[in-house]
């Protein structure tokens, strides 16, 4: 009798114990998980959910079901889990799409989609209450359809991708909030805890070297009992979008009814190093020790020389930008040592070289900007990195940067068709037809509209001109070089405001005050419009002492009622005159000397799309307000040299402008 009782108690205990699933993986050498899609274990024991592919997904689940509700109680019991992850992308601050920790009735739902669906849902089952799915998403793309707050957030998802609660990635340390970048490429740890009595979920995030912060990033009071079934699977789902990204999990522990075991951080497998291969001397040099001392000395000398050749500047604050910092050595190899043959061009800011990155074989354009002052470099790099997050089909993507003594190198995606100005001025000898030009104009308008109004902060381009418009393989116009002139704002003497930009595109108020605004960009855009339609530069020298100012000339044509006369004769007869007239008039309107009269880029886009008719410019008293460059007296301060045709004394031009003004229009 008493023996039976003992046996029964023992049985009960074992049942209860066996129901409290608990496991810990410090690395995944033992390979006990269920995997599908792109998920695999790497040779050094990492779980790689997606393997550097686009539009793919991967899943990893603990193979056995986990009991979340015991037989006597319909409430979900407490549980706790923690894992270490890392996301590595080919680009600067751009990856996608993310990782979700999932609790699901099966090892994943049927027919999941990649990209924004995170390999978890599809457009039909997303949001269906019979999903019975709980998730914690680490999401690096902002999808407005799911109400994402930004492109770097942590969210609690129930049955759908629209998070019940979310927060920008980061953690609390000593009462202060610290931002984290999920796709920085560095390892981070996540804790997800549920208290079955308080019905509370906490989600906490921290860099791997920080102990679990006391305050969670997200805390939600929600009873999971109606959502979770009694028997569920736990694991991860991940997906990629259109950027090559690898999603890794390095360690994972889970426990029902208790605290998940701490991960042994030091034992976790190591991520591949940023950049690539080990140093040559390390791998080659070591076996040589026993062979010959002489050889070693020789090698060491070579190494030192090589080190000097490839020396770069790297400061502590740059650690955060790790993945977006290119190695000078790689850039040097990519451009064959910055050979003249690889030179694509040289502009106001420096020389641009074509290159092919050694491992990825991505084609890049590397711009070498000489910059002696270290002052403001930190802010500038922060800005460059933030600019790297700008994504628009009409902007040239910035991939990353590198710093050396006295020099900054910016790495852009390579644009195979070069810059627009060459096509306008017959070099190469290809003339763009009207529909190509009109498409480029509309594209650049959209790109600038994005910079001014659609991105999270207002970005003033500051140097819009045909030579800063690049053409991609499909001859789409893409704006390049944005924000670069900022570098010279942080210049040596903060008291003087340098006017940076290009003559002919500089708004009068800009040259007067040195202040740049979105409407000074619109002014430059106006000059650009006229340039593209007329095939002439904003200021052209005729003979020894005369200049033609394009906007004045177009204005004269318009006043005579012959605005079409201004168009590029190379356009031939194959054009739509109403479009040509529209762009010319819009060019005049944007060139108005009064900033308030100029349209904003939103209006410009509407006019070009003909959603809204262009205002009657004759009513805008152009003649009295004038269309001119205004005064250029500050121009001598300009620290830059300009492309040849603009390189001429300013006083001269303003006198022309003045004589035109007094010539009474
Ligand atoms: C990624 O995984 C898929 C499926 O396992 C495989 O076919 C592909 O070769 C892998 N790609 C890389 C870059 O490892
Ligand atoms: C989950 O529970 C619901 C009812 O609570 C049930 O209809 C459904 O079939 C269960 N799902 C699975 C996969 O067991
Ligand atoms: C939700 O999914 C269930 C099971 O797949 C299906 O029967 C039901 O029609 C779906 N509900 C909606 C609103 O789509
Ligand atoms: C953290 O990021 C937010 C936006 O994501 C930004 O507004 C804030 O300035 C950042 N804080 C720090 C300290 O970088
Ligand atoms: C969530 O965090 C709060 C604040 O630290 C704490 O009081 C609470 O007990 C936590 N709840 C869980 C489920 O861990
Ligand atoms: C069921 O479990 C919850 C928490 O796990 C507890 O608060 C509740 O009292 C339990 N109910 C019963 C009937 O045991």
pLDDT tens, position by position, 227-278: 999 999 999 999 988 778 899 999 999 999 999 999 988 889 988 766 433 3
Nearest-angstrom CA–CA distance, 258 and 480: 55
Q: How confident is the model over 493-518, as pLDDT tens digits?
A: 333 344 555 667 777 777 677 677 88
Residue keyed to tokens 């009782």: 5
Burial of 16 (0-12, 13-18, 19+ CB in 10 A): exposed
Q: What is the pLDDT of residue 231?
A: 93
CA distances from 637 to 460, 506, 509, 593, 634 (A): 21, 14, 16, 22, 6
CA distances from 261 to 79, 129, 257 (A): 12, 32, 12
Of ligand 3's atoms, which has the minimum distance to the CA of residue 128? 1
54 marked as binding residue: no
Greatest Cα pair distance in the chain: 120
Per-residue H/E/C for 79-92 = EEEEEEEEEEECEC
Of ligand 6's atoms, which has the minimum distance to the CA of residue 77? 5
Residue keyed to tokens 């479009």: 579
Active-site choice (148, 157, 463, 568):
463
Active site residue 330: no
Instruction: Give the whole-number percent of the chain exceeding pLDDT 70.
Output: 74
Nearest-angstrom CA–CA distance, 373 and 425: 36
Distance 225 CA to ligand 2 centre (A): 12
- Check whether 87 has a pLDDT greater than 90: yes
Q: Where are the domain boundaries for CATH 3.30.200.20 in the chain?
A: 310-413
- Check whether 542 has a pLDDT greater than 70: yes
Residue length of the chain: 665
Q: From atom 14 of ligand 3, which residue's Cα is the shortest distance away?
A: 128
Per-residue H/E/C for 39-73 = CEECCCCCEEEEEEECCCEEEEECCCCEECCCCCC
Angle at 433 between CA 427 and CA 437, to 5 degrees: 85
Q: Are 253 and 25 in contact (CB under 8 A)?
A: yes
Burial of 649 (0-12, 13-18, 19+ CB in 10 A): exposed
Domain 14-264: which topology? Jelly Rolls (2.60.120)
Please report which ligand is nearest the Cα atom of 216.
5
User: Which residues lie below 8 Å from residue 58, measured CB to CB, with a gap of 6+?
Assistant: 35, 36, 37, 38, 39, 40, 48, 49, 50, 51, 119, 237, 238, 239, 247
Tell me, using a 6 A CB cutoff, whether residue 225 lines ligand 6: no
Q: How confident is the model over 163-185, as pLDDT tens digits?
A: 999 999 999 988 889 899 898 88
Q: Are 370 and 350 in contact (CB under 8 A)?
A: yes
pLDDT (average), residues 417-431: 80
Nearest-angstrom CA–CA distance, 553 and 539: 10
* Pocket-testing residue among 219, 221, 256, 257, ligand 5, by greatest number of atoms within 8 A of Cβ: 219
Distance 130 CA to ligand 3 centre (A): 7
Chain centroid to Cα 414, Å, comes to: 16
Residues with a CB atom less than 6 Å from ligand 4: 150, 168, 179
Distance 202 CA to ligand 5 centre (A): 6
Q: What is the pLDDT of residue 434?
A: 95
Q: Which CATH architecture has domain 310-413?
A: 2-Layer Sandwich (3.30)
Nearest-angstrom CA–CA distance, 459 and 661: 33
pLDDT band at residue 27 under the 50/70/90 scheme: very high
Q: Beta-carbon neighbour count of residue 625 at 10 Å?
A: 12
Nearest-angstrom CA–CA distance, 97 and 120: 12
pLDDT (average), residues 476-492: 63
Arithmetic mean of pLDDT over the chain: 78
Per-residue H/E/C for 349-400 = CCEEEEEECCCCCCEEEEEEEECCCCCCHHHHHHHHHHHCCCCCCCECCEEE
**Which residues, listed in sequence order, are joined to residue 34 by a DSSP beta bridge?**
61
* Pocket-testing residue among 124, 130, 159, 229, ligand 3, by greatest number of atoms within 8 A of Cβ: 130
Q: Where are the domain boundaries for CATH 1.10.510.10 in the chain?
A: 420-663
Tokens of 309: 């050749």
Q: Where are the domain boundaries for CATH 2.60.120.200 in the chain?
A: 14-264
Quick one: 420-663 is in which CATH superfamily? Transferase(Phosphotransferase) domain 1 (1.10.510.10)
Nearest-angstrom CA–CA distance, 439 and 434: 8
């Amino acid at each position: 009798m008493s023996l039976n009782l003992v046996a029964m108690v023992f049985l009960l205990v074992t049942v209860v114990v066996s129901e409290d699933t608990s496991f810990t993986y410090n690395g995944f050498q033992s390979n006990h998980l269920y995997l599908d899609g792109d998920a695999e274990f790497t040779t050094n024991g990492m779980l790689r959910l997606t393997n550097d592919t686009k539009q793919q997904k991967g899943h990893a689940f603990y193979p056995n079901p986990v009991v979340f509700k015991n037989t006597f109680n319909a409430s979900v019991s407490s549980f706790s889990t923690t894992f270490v992850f890392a996301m590595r992308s080919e680009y600067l601050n751009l990856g996608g799409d993310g990782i979700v920790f999932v609790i699901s009735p099966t090892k994943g739902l049927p027919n999941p989609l990649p990209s924004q669906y995170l390999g978890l849902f599809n457009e039909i089952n997303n949001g269906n209450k019979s999903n019975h799915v709980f998730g914690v998403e680490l999401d690096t793309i902002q999808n407005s359809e799911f109400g994402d707050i930004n492109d770097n957030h942590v969210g609690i998802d129930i049955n759908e991708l629209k998070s019940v609660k979310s927060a920008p990635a980061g953690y609390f340390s000593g009462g202060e909030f610290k931002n984290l970048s999920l796709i920085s490429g560095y390892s981070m740890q996540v804790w997800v805890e549920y208290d079955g009595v308080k019905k509370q979920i906490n989600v906490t995030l921290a860099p791997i070297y920080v102990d679990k912060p006391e305050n969670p990033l997200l805390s939600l009071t929600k009873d999971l009992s109606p959502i979770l079934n009694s028997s569920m699977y736990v694991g991860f789902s991940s997906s990629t979008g259109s950027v090559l990204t690898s999603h890794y999990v390095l360690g994972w522990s889970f426990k029902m009814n208790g605290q998940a075991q701490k991960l042994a951080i030091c034992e976790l497998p190591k991520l591949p190093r940023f950049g690539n291969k080990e140093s040559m001397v390390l791998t080659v040099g070591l076996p040589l020790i026993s062979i010959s001392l002489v050889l070693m000395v020789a090698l060491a000398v070579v190494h030192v020389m090589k080190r000097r050749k490839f020396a770069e500047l790297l400061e502590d604050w740059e650690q955060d930008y790790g993945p977006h910092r290119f190695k000078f050595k790689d850039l040097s190899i990519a451009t064959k040592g910055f050979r003249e043959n690889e030179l694509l061009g040289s502009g106001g800011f420096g020389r641009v070289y074509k290159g092919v990155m050694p491992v990825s074989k991505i084609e890049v354009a590397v711009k070498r900007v000489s910059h002696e002052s270290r002052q403001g470099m930190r802010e500038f790099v922060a800005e460059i990195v933030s600019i790297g997050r700008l994504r628009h089909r009409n902007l040239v993507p910035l991939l990353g940067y590198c710093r050396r003594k006295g020099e900054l190198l910016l790495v852009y995606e390579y644009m195979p068709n070069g810059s627009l100005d060459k096509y306008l001025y017959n070099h190469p000898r290809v003339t763009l037809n009207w529909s190509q030009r009109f498409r480029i104009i509309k594209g650049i308008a959209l790109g600038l509209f994005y910079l001014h109004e659609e991105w999270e902060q207002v970005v003033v381009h500051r140097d819009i001109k045909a030579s800063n418009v690049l053409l991609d393989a499909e001859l789409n116009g893409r704006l390049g070089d944005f924000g670069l002139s900022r570098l010279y704002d942080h210049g040596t003497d903060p008291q003087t405001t340098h006017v940076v930009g290009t003559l002919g595109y500089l708004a009068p108020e800009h040259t007067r005050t040195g202040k740049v605004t979105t409407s000074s960009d619109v002014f430059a855009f106006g000059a650009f419009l006229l340039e593209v339609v007329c095939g002439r530069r904003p200021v052209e020298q005729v003979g020894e002492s005369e200049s033609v100012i394009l906007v004045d000339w177009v204005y004269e044509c318009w006043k005579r009622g012959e605005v079409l006369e201004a168009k590029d004769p190379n356009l031939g007869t194959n054009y739509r005159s109403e479009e040509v007239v529209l762009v010319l008039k819009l060019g005049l309107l944007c060139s108005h000397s009064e900033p308030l009269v100029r349209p904003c880029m939103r209006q410009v886009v509407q006019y070009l799309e003909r959603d809204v008719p262009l205002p009657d410019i004759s009513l805008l008293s152009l003649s009295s307000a004038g269309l001119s460059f205004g005064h250029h007296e500050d121009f001598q301060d300009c620290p830059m040299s300009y492309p040849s045709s603009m390189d001429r004394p300013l006083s001269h031009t303003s006198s022309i402008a003045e004589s035109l003004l007094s010539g009474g229009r």
